[in-house]
């Protein structure tokens, strides 16, 4: 191994180690920020579910379960909690009355937007001082990770 290679290795290790802890911390901060707001009764997991339902409006329970990789039973339990707290509503599909379409209530949409704004602020801070070509590189890095995930999953 020469000096340049060692340097790159050190960079990779730095990035790898950084990434591990950052997400835990983001999760924790998201929850603690939300608990400072008017939405005190929401956990990080519930926030994640509200985010998913907001992003995928009026999807069925089964579809949302598949997206989040939760069992249907688990999702039903989570939905009961969020419905009780007034963040989501279950809409019986009139074409096929077995199907429930999930949607956010007004309160749920407010939470969704607050959460989304926080994410956006995080990304803005992350890319502070980056120019167009830097941002393009970042997008490429994310696409690379998605590809890697896809490859490993397919195997």
Name 75's Cβ contacts closer than 8 Å, sequence gap at least 6: 61, 64, 65, 68
Is 90 an interacting residue with respect to DNA (CB under 7 A)?
yes
Q: Yes or no: say if 90 and 102 are a contact pair by the CB < 8 Å rule.
A: yes
CA distance 18 to 105: 37
Task: Return the range that interacts with a copy of itself (CB under 8 A); candidates 57-65, 84-92, 99-107, 129-137.
Answer: 129-137
Which residues inside 8-47 make contact with a copy of itself, applying CB under 8 A?
8, 11-20, 22-26, 28-29, 33
Is 6 an interacting residue with respect to a copy of itself (CB under 8 A)?
no
Q: How far is CA 78 from the centre of its chain?
A: 16
Local structure of 85: helix, strand or coil: coil
Neighbours of 33 (CB within 10 A): 14
Query: For a copy of itself, which is the closer residue by CB, 28 or 90?
Result: 28
Which of a copy of itself, DNA, none does residue 55 bind to, with CB < 5 to 8 Å depending on kind?
a copy of itself
Number of residues that bind DNA (CB under 7 A): 27
Is 32 an interacting residue with respect to DNA (CB under 7 A)?
no
CB-count burial class (<10 Å; 0-12, 13-18, 19+) for 111: buried
Query: For DNA, which is the closer residue by CB, 38 or 84?
Result: 84
Which residues bind to a copy of itself, rule: CB under 8 A? 8, 11-20, 22-26, 28-29, 33, 51, 55, 68-69, 116, 119-130, 132, 134-135, 137-142, 144-149, 152-153
């Amino acid at each position: 191994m020469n000096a340049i290679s060692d340097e790159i290795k050190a960079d990779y290790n730095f990035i790898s180690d950084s990434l591990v802890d950052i997400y835990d911390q983001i999760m924790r901060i998201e929850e603690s920020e939300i608990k400072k707001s008017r939405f005190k009764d929401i956990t990080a997991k519930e926030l994640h579910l509200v985010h998913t339902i907001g992003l995928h409006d009026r999807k069925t329970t089964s579809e949302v379960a598949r997206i989040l990789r939760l069992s249907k039973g688990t999702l039903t339990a989570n939905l009961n909690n969020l419905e009780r707290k007034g963040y989501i509503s279950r809409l019986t599909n009139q074409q096929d009355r077995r199907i429930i379409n999930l949607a956010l209530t007004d309160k749920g949409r407010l939470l969704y937007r607050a959460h989304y704004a926080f994410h956006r602020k995080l990304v803005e801070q992350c890319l502070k001082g980056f120019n167009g070509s830097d941002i393009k590189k970042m997008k490429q890095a994310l696409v690379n990770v998605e590809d890697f995930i896809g490859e490993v999953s397919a195997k």
